Structure 1
Amino acid sequence: MTIIAAADGSALGNPGPAGWAWYVNDSCWRAGGWPHGTNNQGELMAVLDLFRSTAHVPHEELKILCDSQYVINCITKWMPGWKRKGWRKADGKPVLNVDLLKDIDQAIVGRKYTFEWVRGHAGHDLNEAADDRARAVASAYQQGTAAPSGPGYPGTDEPGQSVPLNRSTRQTGPSDRAVAVEPPSLFDGADAQDEDLTLFGDQDLSYESVRGTGQDTFAEPETFTEPTLFAEFEEVAPLGQSGGSSDEDTVVLLERELLRPDVRGDLGRTGMLLHPDFTEIGSSGRIWSRDELMMALEDNPGETPEVEVISADRISSNTILLSYRSYGRTGSALRSSIWVLDDGRWRLRFHQSTPEK
């Protein structure tokens, strides 16, 4: 029999109150969290706890549905290489979330598992169920209330109960110490490593059948193609929301802000500016998710180009289309950005760039 489960994480503020959950069905799921953590930590912990919760049935294959390409790549591609380097990246910097990754590395030994990437917030029943439970735990920590941790997997010795809000246990994830030592991080995928940049080539990577046996081979990084959004800028713009006399002015200021390397390197601030469902179509035709873009920009924020605004057109009461031309070392490009008003805040929902010949 194959166990099919979705695993997801949530962090309010990222970092902030965080939760994780895996879900098989309404009578088989588990959740936990911490007062302070990141999306990536939640995603990793959900997978780790799923392996631990099914350790008593090692003959059963796991099919894990996950909306985090960062997590999938960590487990199926990058961990063997990081281990060979002493859990360090190619540039010698330590791997983030290393405690969780080491625990996962031990938990998957001898297990058969398959990862399938699913798009988050797209109506996938199992993914939505896991997301709802992870977010409920994060909200509980934020509000100081209790949240159910779920019944667990049949045959384990951990009955369902409420997630405690003042301590860490096996049920709620890694120790407070493990969480505290992690540097602030934002977005599913913000903990980018050099090897993560294989996501950003012209090729599309498929996660529909990424299989592991505990003995995955490590794929060397492929050529990195710089994302088109926020590529090479030199003009400095004011930091912050608004400052203009109209919504159109505000959107122009926010777009310029996102073009600044210091802002692109600040995952907390960028997380407030990019919509959770942000996507980009790059110059090669590659479609990038917010996770992928943030992983790239964290390690390679680039420089600031010059900008020539063409137009800022309101296409609905809560949507503005911004068109502009950028000039950088690699030449000029025509760019389009769609900004939407999300809970009272303008956030970038879509971006596309076309190089000018």
Structure 2
Amino acid sequence: MTITVVTYPTLPDGLISPCWAWVIDDNQWRLGGHAQGSAKVTELPAVLDALRITANEGRALRIVLQDQLLAEHLADLRQQSGSRKTLGDPEHSLMEAIARETVGREVEFAWVGSTDSAATTSRPWLFVANSRQNEASEAVQASTDLRHEIVGLETSLLSAESRNDVERLEQMIHHDFYEIGRTGRYWERDDVIRVLNTIPDQIQGVAFDRVVELAPGVAHVRFRTEDALGTVHRSSIWMREGDHWQQRYHQGTPDTQAS
């Protein structure tokens, strides 16, 4: 039995996205991504993932790709031709991994061909793949929205306006909050609120570089601040409590290597 797998290097809305999808049927599909690179570098990880997930199927595998040239390269790979030499280093490394996964297996690579509306409606597996892509797009947007919200809250805590509003601070800081400050001192919620409410706005610069949702309703943010005393690397944990996000933990570590 032949299994048809479809890979997609871009999302239906045309936005540049790290998402891809491969689909066997409505019950067998996966989403993944690649941070950057050409369509080939985005599509090849999907091929590799599909091969690894179906390694124990014991059935012939037919992998259908969007990129015609890539499909031809992969078909040549099965014949041990020199086509791989025309690819760049990232593609070459992925091709080598794919070659190892195909050893001893019956695998065929093909080009999807025309994907106009008529062809899409006549191929259920294309419709399923498109629906998975839409889900991926929504997931990417949710992640972006979360980043904007958490960065906004963290920035607010750095401002004198929020620090002068005790009620606002009590809403933003979790009742079990604690902090390890830049001097190594431990701070609990009441002390932090009291100190924040009295010190002036001292931050001269801030740069955020990481916001990750650790679990539903739990987010980690990493950023760097600069003030008259130097640079501090900061890390916070935010938890959603009801309709609000609250800071549960914070740590500030001075950058002793900064010039």
The higher relative CO (CA closer than 8 Å, separation ≥ 6) is in 1
Give the structure with higher Rg (CA).
Answer: 2
TM-score, reference length from structure 2: 0.45
TM-score, reference length from structure 1: 0.34
